[in-house]
Chains A and B, each alone.
Chain A
Amino acid sequence: MSENVAVIGIGHSKFGTRKDVNIAELCWESMKPAFETANLEPKDIDFFVVSNAGMWSSEAAVPALIAEYADLAPKGSMRVEAACASGSAAVRIGYTAIKSGMADIALVLGVEKMQESPNPNVIELIGRFGSYFWEFENFGLTFPAYYALHGTAYMMKYGATEEDYAKVAVKNHYYGAKNPYAQFQREIDVETVLKSPYVAWPFKLFDCSPITDGSACVILASEEKVKELGIDEKVWILGQGVGTGTANLSRREEFTSLASARYAAEQAYRMAGIDLDDPVKYLDGANVHDCFTAPEIIAYEDLRFCKRGEGYKLIRDEQTYIGGKIPVNVDGGLKSKGHPIGATGVSQAVEAYKQLLQKAEPGRQADITKGRWLAHNVGGTGHYSYVTVYGLEKR
């Protein structure tokens, strides 16, 4: 049993259209730097977990595939899926494996190769991450549409505008342009977003995260192993909360917030010893699940960075840029960095490590004074929510 669990190694592939590599090669691109930063070899891993939503890609037995490619056999493994939160689910599996004492060192890999299928097929498949029978089969809800129902409700209730949503995309592209691993490395302006074609009203093309190939990897270790290996560079997992929502959106009470995310945030804050009334005071920054622009604003509120109904003011006043109240998605977020479903949650863990240890690329390093970073990762439309707090000092 280990009370504390640390991230001791990280790796990140280039996100984007990766026709140049197959799935195993794409995995290795993030695994190799993870081994190198942890100063470990495949033989040192006790257990590994792979998050991969799959369907659009050819290989289903990804853990076995990488066991073969990266010499991890015969160590134990599993593949996990929690829609777009799969990566955080994998972090949780690695974290609990070490916390329980079943493993001392665990490797967590997230990978998705969405572009092995044509875009129309991906759009068809991704619409199924809700209630297939009652909401997809007869009403053809796409993924942007599920979130658009929230974006509309939020605008109607609080008076936010499509321009406010566009500002989230502008911010995330601003930082994506400074992240060499991002899919889109160029800045955009509000006009570009507003003039792009509608995907699911009120969302336009530039309100949406792209279809992405990519992988991310972290190596986790117990407190004893950290001591034994003499590891200086690490961040601790201070707390993690997880919540689940109903399959049908019609079974929910409101569409301006995700109940599962609020639930996960409260758990994570309690575990990490963070004051629920003022979490911003404890955090240097955050990654939130901006699969579309409006959900980033809703995340500010679900995470209590501001009061309900005031999230759009944070982006309007540029309070989530570096130097503002709390920097959010300064790696480009899902919007600009890209959103390879299974890799996203692990990519957020990589970013927490980089930010806290001040290893982020020039122009996107937040000021680290409090020593804590938050990751908010949502699967489906709040069907699964994970909130994880990382810190420089263990609790």
Chain B
Amino acid sequence: MDKMKEQVMKNMEELGFPVIVDEKSGALQWVDMRELRLRYFISIENIKPFYEGLKEGKLMGTKCKKCGRLFFPPQKDCPSCMDSDIEWIELKNEGTLETMTVVFVKPPSFGMYDPYPVAIAKLDDGPRILAWYNGDPQQVKPGQRVKVQVSRRKEGYLMYELVPL
């Protein structure tokens, strides 16, 4: 990438434009001078109790007071009852692993991690959860029991993960 930038600078100087020749096809490419970085602000105002719970090592979901429907990930409105009268409850933090993958080719924003296993488990309370699997993927057996626990990420924040029981 740095080598390409050098070439662009050189071509700009010599040819007058930010261009490079594509190595494989030989076709001339204009190299965009406008770079965009994306970072979103995502509202968690209505699911604050989820993060308060996580800080204490608890996995919180929402439950409709009227029909008892459980939601994970938590949501503040129940479409079954057209009602927003929900309560926060602590979900049982154990369940059974249903499927798994190991991500070898990572997005650049996860570049600081080794290949990471991702799993989906069905919690004993009913809802399913997707998270990193902190264990040896090669040792996983059908019906593998797992526990949800909280750990600190390399980026510095707290997040839930699945660990083998």
Contact = CB atoms under 8 A, between A and B. Distances in A.
Given A58-B32, A134-B73, A201 B99 contact: no
B19 interface: no
B130 interface: yes
Most buried by A among B73, B101, B104, B159: B101
A152 B99 contact: yes
Most buried by A among B99, B113, B115, B129: B99
A133 B25 contact: no
B72 interface: yes
Nearest to B40: A132
A17 B24 contact: yes
Contacts of B115: 198
Contacts of B25: 17, 19-20
A124 interface: yes
Given A250-B120, A250-B127, A197 B104 contact: yes
B101 A201 contact: yes
Given A17-B24, A255-B120, A140 B109 contact: yes
A51 B162 CA distance: 39
B15 interface: no
Given A148-B101, A250-B129, A142 B73 contact: no
Given A141-B118, A156-B142, A250-B120, A149 B99 contact: yes
B142 A250 contact: no
A127 interface: yes
Given A142-B105, A255-B120, 8 more contacts: A19-B25, A123-B107, A123-B108, A124-B109, A142-B103, A148-B101, A201-B101, A201-B137
Interface of A: 17, 19-20, 58, 118, 120-121, 123-124, 127, 131, 133-135, 138-142, 144-145, 148-153, 156, 197-203, 248-252, 255
15 contacts: A19-B27, A58-B32, A120-B108, A134-B130, A138-B131, A139-B116, A140-B107, A140-B109, A140-B116, A145-B101, A151-B101, A152-B99, A152-B100, A201-B137, A251-B128
